[in-house]
Amino acid sequence: MSKRELIDRICEINRSARPEFLATFSEADLSTYLEHLMEIELEELVVCA
Span 33-43, pLDDT tens digits: 999 999 988 76
Span 12-30, pLDDT tens digits: 999 999 999 999 999 999 9
Residue 14, number of CB atoms within 10 A of its CB: 15
Give the pLDDT confidence score for residue 2 in this predicted structure.
Answer: 97
Radius of gyration for the alpha carbons in the chain, expressed in angstroms and rounded: 11
Neighbour-count burial of 48, counting CB atoms closer than 10 A to its CB (0-12 exposed, 13-18 middle, 19+ buried): exposed
Give the pLDDT confidence score for residue 46 in this predicted structure.
Answer: 67
Q: Largest Cα–Cα distance in the chain?
A: 36
Number of structural domains the chain divides into: 1
Instruction: Identify the three-state secondary structure at position 43.
Output: helix
Does residue 6 carry a pLDDT above 90?
yes
* Residue range of the domain that includes 38: 3-48
